[in-house]
Structure 1
Amino acid sequence: MNVAENILEKADALFNKYGIRSISMDEIARELGISKKTIYQYFKDKDDMVYQITRNTIEKDKSEFEAAMKQSGNLVSALVQMSKCLRENFNKINPSLIFDVQKYHPQSWSMWMDYKNDFIFNTILNTIEKGKTEGIFRQEINAEILAKFRIEQVQMSFDEKIFPRNKFDFKEVQLALFDHFVHGVLTPKGLKIYDDLTKPKGNA
């Protein structure tokens, strides 16, 4: 790992733990045991750091998404793996970090929204459309509406104003919403595959 990567890794950990706005460049330098001047040799300012962290996170998430899709044996499995990736990636993020990016780092927020509304949306959309041709997803559903709904459903579950963490378990909320979603879009054939995938091992 080179110096720039090491700085980004430490900054990412601090931002995720405490939020972006509450962490200064001095604190990042102190945690790394280097001077603030050294940080500025690699990054223009904190906004530049946030942008590069966001870009790296998106590229990592894309790779995980694509790997999960390739490992899926069928389209229902692909949908399950896709939702697992979304759940795990969102669960790593501190809600205050999302708020700070949205409010104080517009370029990074725009990049994140493009990723969500382009890459993730089209991946879900294409899965549903293909599943309809294979008789796994219901023919009458509007794939575009349901793909958008699924993305917002994941994001909604992360909103502490709707599902406060002191009352709801994040994973439980995600699994409940996903189960509700698949029962609304799958045909009996698709539901049979889903039940086989999610049935606890050892059951008949």
Structure 2
Amino acid sequence: MKEKILEKSNELFLNLGFKSVTMDEIANALGVSKKTIYKYFSNKTALIAAVTDNMFETICCSIDTVCEEKMNPIDELYHIKRIIMSHLKDEKSSPFYQLQKYYPKIYASLTQKQFHVMQETVQDNLQRGIDSGLFRTEIDIEFISRIYFSGMIGIKDQQLFPVIKYSMNTLLNNYLEYHIRGISTEKGVQELEQQLKNNNL
């Protein structure tokens, strides 16, 4: 039952937002009483913490699977982007903006975990890009990996990128192109152009 609660809550939170969804709505969607949910989660905050942890672990496992393939680093970035989109369903309700605003402790904890995981993944990607001649040899891997993470957090800022104007898919595509063009060799740019062409087919 706990897994069913997490799964349904995750779906509702992503579609409607962390603040917007009530415990009553979750219970109704599951066809159970609120008492059943409270048997596993003491309150809504505890449920949100569990849902975001579960989502984080699921996405990390999917990303690890992609990274294990050691594919072309530019292909890898686009594969990871597709994984994120498939899990976050384009964030039409801007759930993470609500998370940041109404549950800042959970948001801060999640962001810290994301940073530690992404640092390692992005630095490995950058090094393999340099080794394969796709990325310039003189780039500062430590600096670029931090800038990349900062940008990924930044494009979720609703004040800067309102959801009515920018979909998450558009933001991720634009940011990836911006990131890759900034660090690529001529060979890397050609690979990027091919990737962009494939994405538009």
What TM-score bracket applies, with the shorter chain setting the length? 0.7 to 0.9
Match of residue 12, structure 2, among 14, 24, 38: 14
**Could you tell me the TM-score, scaled by structure 2's length?**
0.82
- The structural deviation recorded for 1:103 is 4.1
Q: 2:143 aligns with which of 142, 145, 160?
A: 145
Which stretch shifts more, 105-114 or 135-144? Answer: 105-114
Q: 1:157 offset after TM fit, Å?
A: 2.5
Structure 1 position 57, deviation (Å): 0.2
Which residue among 136, 156, 165 is the counterpart of 1:158? 156
What CA deviation, in whole Å up to 9, does each residue of 1:15-66 have, x standing for no partner? Answer: 2233333333233223322222211211121122111111110111012212
SS in 2 for 1:125: helix
Q: Which of 65, 68, 80 is equivalent to 2:66? A: 68
Among 15, 24, 36, the alignment partner of 2:34 is: 36
**1:51–1:107 contact (8 Å) kept in structure 2:** no
| Alignment of structure 1 residues 1-204 onto 2, 5 Å | 3-71=1-69, 73-89=71-87, 92-93=90-91, 96-200=94-198
User: Which has the higher mean CA deviation after the structures are superposed, 40-49 or 165-174?
Assistant: 165-174
Unpaired runs of 5+ in structure 1? none
Name the Cα RMSD after superposition.
2.7
179-188 or 156-165: which moved more?
156-165
Higher relative contact order (CA 8 A, sep 6+): 2
**SS of residue in 2 equivalent to 1:199:** helix
- Report how many residues are paired: 200
* Cα distance in 2, alignment partners of residues 26 and 196 from structure 1: 48
| CA distance in 2 between partners of 1:134 and 1:200 (Å) | 21
Q: Which has the larger radius of gyration?
A: 1
Moved over 6 A (4+): none
Q: Give the superposition deviation at 1:8.
A: 1.8
Offset at residue 6 of structure 1 (A): 1.4
> For residue 113 of structure 2, what is the amino acid of its counterpart?
Y
Q: How far off its partner does 1:156 sit?
A: 2.5
CA distance 1:133–1:104, change in 2 (3 Å): same
